């Protein structure tokens, strides 16, 4: 089986600044990838591309064996398989419940199923009973977990997490780590950024290290133009 994502000679510029320049990178289904690197190394930029939210400036991206055409309509079905939880997530006006329901409604999932999935997702992140709370009035850590639950409720094929552990206290971080490490068992591929110098071993996935927009080979490994990582 080929990789889920295949990136080749991929670059992304913001104005004149080259934010990303990846010669080659493969991401395989059912693995957990930790994306590390200093501030401004292009981690969020890469996640934005993997989420089909912002097109690369040049290069090719294959998803599920097919080249991605960066045209409006063709991206919607791809975005329905891949969900990104932003570094500082935006929660919609209204209740926590309506936040979690948004993506389910978009997919035309019946209301009964919505209700049970929402309850389950909130329970998973340790926020049972938060359904009727006003989302915009939550604390930073609570909001982070609601955003995670909002993505989990969609049972995405790929879950992209930008600093999921940044705002949360130690106990919640444990909970989130546990949730994440259980995801490959449910068939979900995870790519998460982290500032942990050595990402938690319980996640036992692969590490992709970015430096100034380039994938730097893991320490000790010989530099290769294409870095394949298989879990």
Partner 1 sequence: MDFFLESLKASWSLILSLDRELFRAVWTSVYVSVWSIVFAALLGIPAGLAVGLLEVPFKRTVITGLNSLMAVPTVLIGLLVYGFISRQGPLGGWGLLFSPSAVIVGDALLAAPIVANYTLSSIRGAHAAILPTAMTLGAGRLRSVLKLLSEIRFGMMAAVISGFGRVISEVGVAMMLGGNILGYTRTMTTAIALETSKGEFALGIALGIILMSVALLVNIVFQILQRR
Contact between 17 and ligand ATP per CB under 6 A: yes
Cα Rg of the chain, angstroms? 17
**Interacting residues with Mg ion (CB under 5 A):** 43-44
Name residues contacting ligand ATP, limited to 84-143 (CB under 6 A): 87
Q: How far is the CB of 149 from partner 1 (least distance, A)?
A: 12
Contact between 211 and ligand ATP per CB under 6 A: no
| CA 92 from centroid of its chain's CA atoms | 19
Contact between 19 and ligand ATP per CB under 6 A: yes
Question: What does 14 bind: Mg ion, ligand ATP, partner 1, none (CB cut-off 5 to 8 Å by kind)?
Answer: ligand ATP
Distance CA(108)–CA(171), nearest Å, equals 35
CB 40 within 8 A of CB 16: no
Contact between 44 and ligand ATP per CB under 6 A: yes
Interacting span for partner 1 (CB under 8 A) from 1-9, 21-29, 59-67, 89-97: 89-97
CB 131 within 8 A of CB 95: yes
Distance CA(161)–CA(163), nearest Å, equals 6
Q: How many residues form the binding site for partner 1 (CB under 8 A)?
A: 24
CB 10 within 8 A of CB 61: yes
Q: Which of 19, 32, 84, 208 binds partner 1 (CB under 8 A)?
A: 84
Q: How far is the CB of 87 from ligand ATP (least distance, A)?
A: 6
Distance CA(103)–CA(83), nearest Å, equals 10
Q: How far is the CB of 80 from partner 1 (least distance, A)?
A: 4
Alpha helices in the chain (DSSP H): 43-50, 72-79, 96-106, 111-124, 140-152, 170-182
Enumerate binding residues for partner 1 (CB under 8 A).
Answer: 48, 51, 53, 72-73, 76, 79-80, 82-84, 86, 88-90, 92-93, 102-103, 106-107, 150-151, 154
């Amino acid at each position: 089986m080929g990789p889920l994502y295949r990136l080749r000679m991929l670059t992304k510029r913001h104005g004149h600044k080259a934010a990303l320049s990846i010669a080659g990178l493969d991401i395989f289904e059912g693995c957990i990838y930790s994306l590390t690197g200093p501030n401004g190394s292009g981690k969020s930029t890469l996640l934005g591309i993997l989420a089909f939210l912002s097109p690369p400036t040049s290069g090719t991206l294959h998803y599920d064996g097919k080249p991605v055409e960066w045209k409006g309509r063709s991206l919607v079905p791809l975005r329905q398989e891949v969900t990104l939880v932003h570094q500082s997530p935006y929660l919609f006006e209204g209740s926590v419940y309506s936040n979690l329901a948004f993506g389910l409604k978009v997919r035309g999932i019946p209301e009964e199923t919505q209700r049970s999935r929402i309850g389950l997702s909130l329970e998973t992140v340790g926020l049972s009973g938060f359904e009727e709370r006003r989302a915009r009035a939550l604390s930073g850590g609570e909001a982070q977990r609601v955003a995670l639950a909002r993505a989990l409720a969609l049972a995405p094929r790929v879950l992209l997490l930008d600093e999921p552990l940044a705002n949360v206290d130690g106990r919640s971080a444990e909970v989130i780590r546990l949730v994440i490490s259980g995801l490959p068992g449910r068939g979900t591929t995870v790519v998460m950024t982290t500032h942990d110098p050595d990402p938690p071993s319980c996640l036992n996935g692969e590490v992709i290290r970015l430096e100034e927009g380039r994938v730097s080979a893991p320490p000790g490994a010989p530099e290769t133009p294409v870095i394949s990582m298989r879990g």
